[in-house]
């Protein structure tokens, strides 16, 4: 039986797509838009939910390569803990014989995407402080729930609110001051500039479950060994 015939007889079968395939359907619902990350046991995909027309993230794990108890533990943790606003929310779980797909809500853009685009950067000192404080708060939450996030990077920090509004600044006697809801007399304004910036720095940390079973005592995301703590590497 050909692969096409096999897929026709089992429409819910999830096939790990090869890099570059766009438009492939996952479980007859999620249309693949882009492969965001891939490992030996999993892929994380950007997809469109065809029932709601919303963007989502899908993590597909090959069941034969990961212990079942690890998958069950991941799903249980994600269902219980990702209701917290600091972590991306698990939307649904799709189980088939060969694979498990975890579907996560997706809002906004990653910090990496915003920095690469450059339209809204550089961030002000206040924005940098707000982002750092939220990341620390999110990590503290994960640590309290026995999760070590060893792949934390701008790629998994999601800025969730609206992007890009026009900010106007004037140069007055005290330097640059943001014009919010009040006007200034022309005599006090020597220069006016305009810059797009973030409407808010509200963010979420992307945690998609365990991607490695090297550390059986805790849920650990797969990462680069040189950035891991010795106790994580040694289990």
Give residue-wise pLDDT tens across range 74-108.
Answer: 888 888 876 778 888 999 998 888 888 899 998 88
pLDDT tens-digit readout, 149-158: 877 889 899 9
Q: What mean pLDDT do residues 162-166 have?
A: 56
Q: Which of 114, 159, 157, 166 is nearest to 136 (CA)?
A: 157
Q: Contact at 8 Å (CB) between 58 and 15? A: no
Q: What is the mean pLDDT of the chain?
A: 74
SS3 192: strand
What tokens appear for 142 in the block? Answer: 């994960």
| Highest-confidence segment of 4-8, 115-119, 219-223 | 115-119
Choice among 113-117, 162-166, 193-197 with the minimum mean pLDDT? 162-166
pLDDT, greater one: 177 or 49: 49
In this structure, what is the dihedral angle of CA atoms 41, 45, 48, 51, given to the nearest 10 degrees?
A: 20
Instruction: Report pLDDT for 11.
Output: 43
SS3 74: helix
- Is 88 exposed, middle or buried (CB count within 10 Å of its CB: 0-12, 13-18, 19+)? buried
Q: Which of 117, 108, 73, 62 is nearest to 88 (CA)?
A: 108
Q: How confident is the model at residue 229 (pLDDT cuts 50, 70, 90)?
A: low
Q: Contact at 8 Å (CB) between 157 and 206? A: yes
Instruction: Report pLDDT for 107.
Output: 84
Question: 169 to each of 112, 124, 128, 179, how far by Cα in Å?
Answer: 26, 13, 19, 6
- Bridge partner residues of 205 (DSSP): 87, 157
Ramachandran category for residue 119: left, alpha or beta (phi over 0 → left; psi -120 to 50 → alpha)? alpha
Answer yes or no: pTM beyond 0.85.
no
What tokens appear for 113 in the block? Answer: 């995407």
SS3 102: strand
């Amino acid at each position: 039986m050909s692969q096409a015939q096999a897929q026709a007889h089992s429409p819910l079968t999830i096939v790990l797509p090869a890099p570059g395939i766009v438009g492939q359907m996952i479980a007859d619902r999620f249309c693949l838009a882009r492969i965001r990350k891939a490992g030996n046991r999993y892929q994380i995909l950007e997809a469109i939910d065809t029932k709601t027309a919303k963007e989502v993230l899908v993590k597909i794990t090959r069941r034969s390569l990961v212990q079942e108890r690890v998958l069950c533990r991941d799903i249980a943790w994600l269902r219980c803990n990702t209701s917290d606003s600091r972590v991306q929310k698990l939307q649904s779980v799709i189980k088939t014989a060969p694979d498990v797909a975890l579907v996560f809500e997706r809002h906004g853009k990653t910090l990496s995407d915003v920095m690469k685009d450059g339209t809204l950067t550089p961030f002000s000192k206040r924005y940098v402080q707000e982002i750092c404080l939220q990341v620390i708060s999110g990590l503290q939450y994960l640590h309290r729930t026995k999760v070590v996030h060893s792949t934390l990077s701008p790629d998994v920090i999601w800025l969730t609110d609206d992007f890009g509004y026009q900010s106007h600044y004037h140069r007055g006697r005290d330097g640059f001051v943001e014009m919010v809801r009040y006007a200034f007399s022309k005599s006090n304004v020597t220069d006016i500039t305009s810059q797009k910036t973030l409407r808010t720095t509200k963010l979420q940390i992307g945690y998609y479950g365990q991607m490695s079973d090297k550390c059986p005592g805790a849920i650990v995301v797969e990462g680069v060994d040189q950035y891991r703590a010795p106790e994580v590497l040694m289990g």
